[in-house]
Amino acid sequence: MKLLEERILAEGIAIDENILKVDGFINHQVEPELMRKIGEDFANHFKDMGVTKVVTIESSGIAPALMTAEAMQVPLLILKKSPSKILNSNMFQTVVTSFTKGTSYELTLAGHLISEQDHVLIIDDFLANGEAATGAVRLIRKAHATIAGIGILIEKSFQPGREKLESQGFHIYSQVRIAKLSAGKIELLSQP
How many Å apart are CA 156 and CA 126, to the nearest integer? 7
**Residue among 44, 84, 88, 100 that touches ligand 5GP (CB under 6 A):** 100
Tell me how many residues contact ligand 5GP (CB under 6 A): 18
Give whichever of 29 and 73 is closer to ligand 5GP, judged by the CB atom.
29
Under the binding rule (CB under 6 A), the answer on residue 64 touching ligand 5GP is no
How many Å apart are CA 161 and CA 112, to the nearest integer? 30
Q: How far is the CB of 160 from ligand 5GP (least distance, A)?
A: 9
**Residue among 34, 69, 127, 150 that touches ligand 5GP (CB under 6 A):** 127
* Residue 151 and residue 171 in contact, taking contact as beta carbons nearer than 8 Å: no
Under the binding rule (CB under 6 A), the answer on residue 19 touching ligand 5GP is yes
Q: Is the backbone of residue 108 left (phi > 0), alpha (psi -120 to 50) or beta?
A: beta
Q: How far is the CB of 88 from ligand 5GP (least distance, A)?
A: 26
**Residue among 123, 126, 139, 177 that touches ligand 5GP (CB under 6 A):** 126
Measured CA distances, 44 to 67, 98, 147, 173 (Å): 12, 30, 17, 11
Under the binding rule (CB under 6 A), the answer on residue 20 touching ligand 5GP is yes
* Residue 162 and residue 128 in contact, taking contact as beta carbons nearer than 8 Å: no
Q: How far is the CB of 135 from ligand 5GP (least distance, A)?
A: 8
Count the helices and strands in the chain (H runs, E runs).
5, 10
Under the binding rule (CB under 6 A), the answer on residue 125 touching ligand 5GP is yes
- Size (the chain), residues: 192
What does the binding site for ligand 5GP look like in residue numbers (CB under 6 A)? 19-21, 27, 60, 98-100, 124-132, 161
